[in-house]
Amino acid sequence: MQFFWFLPTHGDTRYLGSAEGARPVELSYLQQIAGAADRLGYEGVLIPTGRSCEDPWVIASSLIGATTKLKFLVAVRPGLHQPSLAARMAATFDRLSEGRLLVNLVTGGDQTELEGDGVFLDHAARYEQSAEFIRIWREILARSHDGQTFDYEGKHLTVKGAKLLYPPVQTPYPPVWFGGSSEAAHELAAEQVDAYLTWGEPPAEVAKKIADVKARAERKGRKVAFGIRLHVIVRETEDAAWQAAEDLISRVDDATVIRAQAAFAKMDSEGQRRMAALHAKGAKRTRADLEISPNLWAGVGLVRGGAGTALVGDAKTVAARIEEYAALGLDKFILSGYPHLEEAYRFAELVFPLLSYKTKARLAGGLPTGPFGEVVANLDAPSRLASQS
């Protein structure tokens, strides 16, 4: 099981939908978050993409020297990148980071935003283009290890004599991760990617998606890993956690929710449609309205696009819910919380120690061994006192 954190390259906050308690995107702050994730045992960080975000490749590159083990899940977007250039960027980053690159294939999004970026393909055509893109990208990188060239002529993309002189560290190429909920997305995942990601839906719905992608992959003679993208709101007690969830959306008014939902409705993303459906009845934004499955809360999705659900509860409960998802076949958990610096610490300190032995053993670098905390009365470390109790 691998745990990833999130870099808020579109800004961070204590209260969704409000400038109160908000934090701008600054390199020093992103370095704090990445450094904390690196030290706490997270496997890596997801860096989002889109016009609301700073460029993920520039951000990731700026953090290589500020971290030692942390991996970077960085987006490529067919239609914005040419596959040969994207392959060169990936190989360079992988070498400079000594093999710490993961690639996030991003196909869908807001049609208005896509057209602003020069992409005018509809949903079906974008998936056709993405399939061609990632096939070319993979072949160029795989063939770079022995100096081969690659030719391809497709419906949307063509290359002739494509070649990389400097291969990536990882062989045959940095792993490709991908998320999507449509049939076309499931087919693309089964055919070409290494890990399929789902947003945080109730376990029964996640199980259906895993089963479908797995079956499609098996018919093609492939195996695919699975992961999930979730927010987390964990506190020492259940009541405190649910109060924190309510506080997070306490500055959101109805007009803001209506405006956000109208924007999301214009997207042709099946995943975004499924996220919106989870909180459709939650106009009053009460816990009863928005708790769509035990401890799974859809309040974030009222105003945030993309991942819109959070696991909410005390540490023991949240750990148990994670183990439930893991039992479905998920081994990659991409998490976030507001604000992202404090919540990276809170989740690691409260939840990591409660996970199963296998989970703890697989945490990047293992769990820290101490000493912990401030020395008591200039005499004893807290860990020593605890061992004597």
Mean predicted confidence (pLDDT) in 127-156: 97
Report the distance separating Cα 44 and Cα 35, nearest Å.
Answer: 10
Confidence at residue 305, expressed as pLDDT on a 0 to 100 scale: 66
What is the value of pTM for the model shown?
A: 0.89
Judge contact between 82 and 155, C-beta under 8 A: no
Burial 296-318 (b: 16+ CB within 10 A, else e): bbbbbbbbbbbbbbbbbbbbebb
Instruction: Please give the residue range of the domain that contains residue 214.
Output: 2-76+175-388
pLDDT exceeding 70 applies to what percent of the chain?
83
In the predicted structure, residue 211 carries a pLDDT above the cut 70: yes
Of the candidate ranges 102-111, 251-260, 301-310, the one whose mean pLDDT is the lowest: 251-260
Question: Looking at the domain assignment, is residue 154 inside a domain?
Answer: no
Between CA 190 and CA 29 the distance in angstroms is 37
pLDDT digits (tens, 9 = 90+) for 194-206: 999 998 999 999 9
> Does the N-terminal peptide bond of residue 174 adopt cis geometry, omega within 30 degrees of 0?
no
The DSSP-derived string for 81-133 is B-HHHHHHHHHHHHHHTTS-EEEEE-----HHHHHHTT----HHHHHHHHHHH
Distance spanning both ends of the chain, measured CA to CA = 32
* HSE value, Cβ hemisphere, 13 Å, CA-based, for 252: 27
Residue 386's pLDDT band, with cuts at 50, 70 and 90, is: very low
Cα-flanking dihedrals φ and ψ of residue 46, to 5°?
A: -90, 130
- Residue appearing with tokens 């109790």: 389
Number of structural domains in the chain: 1
Most confident by average pLDDT, 9-18, 75-84, 153-162, 242-251: 153-162
Assess if residue 144 is contained within a domain. Answer: no
Give pLDDT tens digits for 331-372: 999 999 999 999 999 999 999 999 875 666 656 555 555 555
Nearest CA to 296 among 342, 233, 240? 233
Cα gap 147→241, rounded to integer Å = 54
Contact 7/336 with Cβ under 8 angstroms? no
Cβ–Cβ under 8 Å, residues 315 and 295:
no
Pairing of strands 310-314, 225-235: parallel
**pLDDT above 60 for 155:** yes
Q: Is residue 294 part of a domain?
A: yes
Query: What's the pLDDT tens digit per position in 44-59?
Result: 999 999 888 999 999 9
Category of 373 on φ-ψ map: left (φ > 0), alpha (ψ -120 to 50) or beta: left
Quick one: 375 exposed, middle or buried, by C-beta within 10 A (0-12, 13-18, 19+)? exposed
Supply the mean pLDDT for the chain.
Answer: 88
Residue range 173-191, pLDDT digits in tens: 999 999 988 999 999 999 9
Cα–Cα distance measured from residue 194 to residue 223, given in angstroms and rounded to the nearest whole number: 8
Average pLDDT score over residue span 7-13: 95
Is the residue at 123 inside a domain?
no
pLDDT for res 282: 44
- Tokens 């704090």 — which residue? 32
pLDDT greater than 60 at residue 389: no
Amino acid at the residue 230: L
- Is 141 a residue whose pLDDT tops 90? yes
With residue 223 as reference, give the H or E element that holds it: none
Buried b / exposed e over 123-159, threshold 16 CB at 10 Å, is beebbbbbbbbbbbbbbbbbbbeeeeebeeeeeebeb
In a domain, 67, yes or no: yes
| Confidence bin at 290 (pLDDT 50/70/90) | confident
| 71: three-class secondary structure by DSSP | strand
Check residue 300 and report its DSSP letter.
Answer: G
Type of residue numbered 180: G
CATH number of the domain residue 195 falls in: 3.20.20.30
For the CA atoms of 58, 62, 63, 69, the dihedral, rounded to the nearest 10 degrees, stands at 90
Domain-located, residue 169: no
By residue count, the chain amounts to: 389
Q: Which has more confidence, 249 or 152? A: 152
Nearest residue to 308 via CA among 272, 338, 340: 272
Backbone angles phi, psi at 155, to 5 degrees: -70, -35
Confidence of residue 113 (pLDDT cuts 50, 70, 90): confident
Alpha-carbon distances of 102 from 52, 76, 277, rounded to whole Å: 22, 10, 30
In a domain, 28, yes or no: yes
Residue 110 lies in a domain: no
Rounded (10°) CA dihedral 81, 85, 86, 90? -160
pLDDT digit string (tens) for 314-331?
Answer: 999 999 999 999 999 999
pLDDT of residue 110: 77
Burial class (CB in 10 A: 0-12, 13-18, 19+), 81: middle
- pLDDT tens digits, one per residue of 237-268: 999 999 999 999 998 877 777 676 666 655 65
